[in-house]
Chain A
Amino acid sequence: MSVTTNSAITNPVSNDEQDSIILNRAADASPKSALLIMVHGTPRPVANEEMFRVVQVVKARGVYPIVEVGFMECNAPSIPESIEACIAQGATKVTAVPYFLHTGTHVADDLPTLIEAAQEQYPEVEFAMGGYLGRSELLTDILEARTRAVVGV
Chain B
Amino acid sequence: MEVGYLNYSEPPFAETVANVVAQGATRIFVTPYFLIPGKFVKVDLPRAIDAAQSAHPDVTFILAEPIGYDELLADALLKSAASALPHTEWRSDLVQAAQSCRANPECPLYGTPACPRQPFPLLTIQTTGEA
Contact = CB atoms under 8 A, between A and B. Distances in A.
B31 A58 contact: no
A35 interface: yes
Interface stretch (B15-23, B47-55, B70-78): B70-78
A97 B79 CA distance: 10
A42 B35 CA distance: 11
Contacts of A80: none
B11 interface: no
Contacts of A149: 64-65
Given A50-B68, A146-B67, A147-B64, A61 B35 contact: no
B45 interface: no
B80 A48 contact: no
A135 B84 CA distance: 13
B97 A108 contact: yes
A1 interface: no
A104 B70 contact: no
Interface in A57-87: 57-58, 61, 63-64
B81 interface: yes
Interface of B: 29, 31-39, 41-42, 62-85, 87, 90-91, 93-94, 96-97, 108-109, 114
Interface of A: 35, 37, 40, 42-44, 47-48, 50-51, 53-54, 57-58, 61, 63-64, 95, 97, 99-101, 103-105, 107-109, 112, 115-116, 128-133, 135-136, 138-139, 141-143, 145-147, 149-151
